[in-house]
Each structure stands twice: as structure tokens, then as C-alpha cells.
């Protein structure tokens, strides 16, 4: 697996339709699993891009995890540094701070433990040691998000 993309994950036409549906549900507060709508400005298009993500509150912070690798929203978030999140209420602007591997590892492991659907896309399992997650952290970026007032 390369650091730039995950060959086991393809975002085809069906996935794009499901993502649009889930993002709409998230905006209304009705998406399953606590999903939220993440809107980030496209790094090339300059247009807003919205998709559903599942945040992980842990250690007093809220995290966004990229279980499918360094996909478009990750690249866009890296470029923009901020985004808007929404779940059943007013949109909230957030700053995104990408965590170094040592800080990302426990978050990534907890994400894999809680969200079983992503396990086939992550090369470490829920019972693996933290060093296994630290070794793959570059392939699955983790961001802490903070509200921008």
C-alpha cells in the first residue's frame, strides 16, 4: 500500500451516491454511527466538497481518521487546514491538526476497535499493539479538530 492511496478502496459511482445520502442525513442529525458532514474546500477546484465522516472523541479531543488512506478529503483538508462540520444543527468551522504517528497510533487503534467496517482497509487489527498502528499511521492520517470561534 502506498502512502498516497489505498488500493483496497475505490470510490465508485455507488459509493458517491451513498456518500451524498449519508452526508445529507448527517446534516440533519440522522446518519447512523454518529456520522457528521465534513465540508472542505477542494485543493484544485476551490469548490466545497462534502462527505460523511465518523468522528472519534478520545482523550478530550475530537478526531477525524482516514481509514481508507490518503484520499481526496485528506489532501483537501491538509491544503485548507480547516473545514466545516455539521450534524443536526448549525455548521461549525473547525481547524484540523494532523497528528504525528506516535499521537495518531492510539486514535487509529481505537477507531479500528469501534468501527469494524474499516478493518479490511487497515493493515493492523483491533488487538494489535500500538507500534503496529504507529507503523501505518502515515497511510491513515488522523486529525484533531478544534472549533474556530
Q: What is the DSSP string of 64-129?
A: EE-TT-S-HHHHHHHHHSEEEEESSSS-EEEEEEEPPHHHHHHHHHHHHHH-GGGGGGSSS-TTS-
d(CA 124, CA 127): 8
**Cβ burial 74-83 (10 Å sphere, 16+ → b, else e):** bbbbeeeeeb
Predicted pLDDT at 2: 35
Residues 107-136 have pLDDT tens digits of 999 999 999 999 999 999 999 999 999 999
CATH code for the structural domain at 13-147: 2.30.110.10
Q: Which residue has the higher pLDDT, 8 or 29?
A: 29
Q: Is the pLDDT of residue 60 over 60?
A: yes
Predicted pLDDT at 10: 60
Which H/E stretch holds residue 105?
Answer: helix 101-114
The pTM (predicted TM-score) of the whole model is: 0.88
Amino acid at each position: 500500500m502506498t502512502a498516497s492511496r489505498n488500493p483496497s478502496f475505490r470510490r465508485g459511482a455507488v459509493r458517491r451516491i451513498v456518500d451524498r445520502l449519508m452526508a445529507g442525513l448527517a446534516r440533519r442529525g440522522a446518519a447512523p454511527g454518529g456520522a457528521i458532514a465534513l465540508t472542505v474546500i477542494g485543493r484544485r477546484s476551490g469548490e466545497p466538497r462534502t462527505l460523511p465522516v465518523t468522528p472519534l472523541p478520545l482523550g478530550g479531543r475530537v478526531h477525524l481518521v482516514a481509514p481508507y488512506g490518503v484520499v481526496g478529503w485528506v489532501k483537501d483538508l491538509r491544503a485548507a487546514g480547516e473545514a466545516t462540520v455539521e450534524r443536526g444543527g448549525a455548521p461549525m468551522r473547525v481547524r484540523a491538526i494532523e497528528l504525528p504517528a506516535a499521537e495518531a497510533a492510539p486514535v487509529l487503534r481505537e477507531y479500528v476497535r469501534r468501527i469494524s467496517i474499516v478493518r479490511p482497509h487497515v493493515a493492523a487489527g483491533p488487538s494489535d499493539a500500538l507500534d503496529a498502528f504507529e507503523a501505518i499511521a502515515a497511510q491513515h492520517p488522523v486529525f484533531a479538530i478544534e472549533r474556530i470561534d
